[in-house]
Amino acid sequence: MDPNPFKQFEQWFQAATEAEPVLPEAVSLSTATREGRLSSRMVLLKDFDETGFVFYSNYESRKGLELAENPNAALVFYWRQLERQICITGTVSKVSREESEAYFRTRPRGSQIGALTSSQSQVVASREVLENRFQQLLAEYEGREIPLPSYWGGYRLSPATIEFWQGRSDRLHDRFFYQRQSGGPWQLERLSP
């Protein structure tokens, strides 16, 4: 294992990208309310570096509201073909508006309109209401740049712990646990399966 968990993640993520043909960047994100009520959902990893793991969402969604009141969160990647998972815990903060804007510009036009259309996690009367709103916005912005909504952008999970799990047929799995020490360096330990 590399002593730097981000370099180790990069190696495993590259292997997953080659082995998993569909959405190797899909990751389970778990958040909690201030009182500790948990919720989980899948999001897509859009970037990572030594500062953390980046995903994008509606800030007014359930996850956004939970992260606003409790920034502690967890990510779990699972790549069945490789029998590998990575569990990450840490705190989440918003990325800069400039970073969100730059990513938003790379999204397909339909996805940009979708971000404007949806009041994510809110009750909607029908599918027809969504479709009509989408078509209305599509016509409104025809031939024009679609603005980044003020309520939409990126989050970065800055990890405190990262665990790499490699499955084995004898159930004596390999588990490697990285924990950030005060001052910045990482401690690496092997855990019993």
Q: How big is the chain by its Cα radius of gyration, in Å? A: 19
Which H or E element spans position 115? helix 109-117
DSSP letter at 193?
Answer: -
Our answer to whether residue 171 is catalytic in this structure is yes
The residue from 133, 171, 175, 190 that is catalytic is 171
DSSP string of 119-171?
Answer: -TTS--S-HHHHHHHHHHHHHHTTTSPPPPPTTEEEEEEEEEEEEEEE--TTS
For residue 42, give every residue at least 6 positions away whose Cβ sits within 8 Å of its Cβ, in sequence order, or none. Answer: 26, 27, 28, 29
Q: How far apart are CA 110 and CA 164, in angstroms?
A: 36
Sign of CA dihedral 146, 151, 133, 131: positive
Rounded CA separation 48/140 (Å): 35
CA distance 46 to 154: 9
Residues involved in catalysis: 171
